[in-house]
Amino acid sequence: MSVSVEARAGGFHVVGDMTLETAASLFSKGIQISTEPTLVFDLTAVDEVDSSGLAVLFGWMRAAEAQGKTLRIDNPPANLVSLAQVYDVSDLLPLS
């Protein structure tokens, strides 16, 4: 299973599933240095998210904070929103 994080104007476009199989690769690809003050991750092309994918999002948030930046998640898939609600962390995620 492959996953990619493509740098695009205005942020990063994530393509593939955010699952246990892709979490390590996804995390390292997503903490790329960016000159933007807000890191925007567009999840339009993400179909499946499990708890590992949720952990990746929190890892990206910590990495952005360490760089003095903020993070925003655009177009979260329905299963990510549902999973965040199940774990009662919806308020902690910068979902738009």
Distance CA 59, CA 8 (A): 21
Q: DSSP labels for the chain?
A: ---EEEEETTEEEEES-BSTTTHHHHHHHHT---SSSEEEEEEEE---B-HHHHHHHHHHHHHHHHTT-EEEEES--HHHHHHHHHTT-GGGS-B-
The two three-digit tokens of residue 36, written as one number: 């933007």
pLDDT at 36: 83
The two three-digit tokens of residue 93, written as one number: 């995620």
pLDDT at 10: 76
pLDDT at 1: 65
Query: Could you say which residues of the chain have pLDDT below 50?
Result: none
pLDDT at 54: 95
Question: Domains of the chain, with CATH numbers?
Answer: 4-92 (3.30.750.24)
pLDDT at 3: 87
Distance CA 18, CA 70 (A): 21
